[in-house]
A and B are shown apart, each in its own frame.
Chain A
Amino acid sequence: MSAEGEPPRGLRAWLDERLGLSALTALAREKTVPLHRHTAWYYLGGMTLFLFTVQVVTGILLLLYYRSSADEAFESVQFIMTRVPFGWLVRSIHSWSANLLVLVALVHMFSVFLLKAYRRPREVTWFTGVLLLFLMLGFGFSGYLLPWNTLAFFATQVGTEVAGAVPVVGRFLLRFLRGGDQVTGGTLTRFYGIHVAVLPALTTLVLAAHLLLVQRHGMSVPESQHAARTGRPARSVPFFPNFLVRDAIGWSAAVGVLAALAALFPWDLGEKADPFAPAPAGIRPEWYFAWMFQTLKWLPAHVLGVEGELVGLFAFGVGGLLLILVPLLDSGGRPGRSHALIVLGWVVVVYAAAATAAVYLNAASG
Chain B
Amino acid sequence: LILVLVGALCIQTVVLHYLPLHMPVDLFLVLICCGGIHFRAVPLLCWGLFVGLMGDSISGGLFGAGAFTRTILAYLLIWLKGRFILKGMPVLMLIVFMGTILDGAILFLVRGLFDAPQGAVDPVLLTLRAGCNAVIAPVVMKLLGTVRQDEPETL
Are the chains A and B members of one assembly? no
Binding site for B on A (CB under 8 A): none
Binding site for A on B (CB under 8 A): none
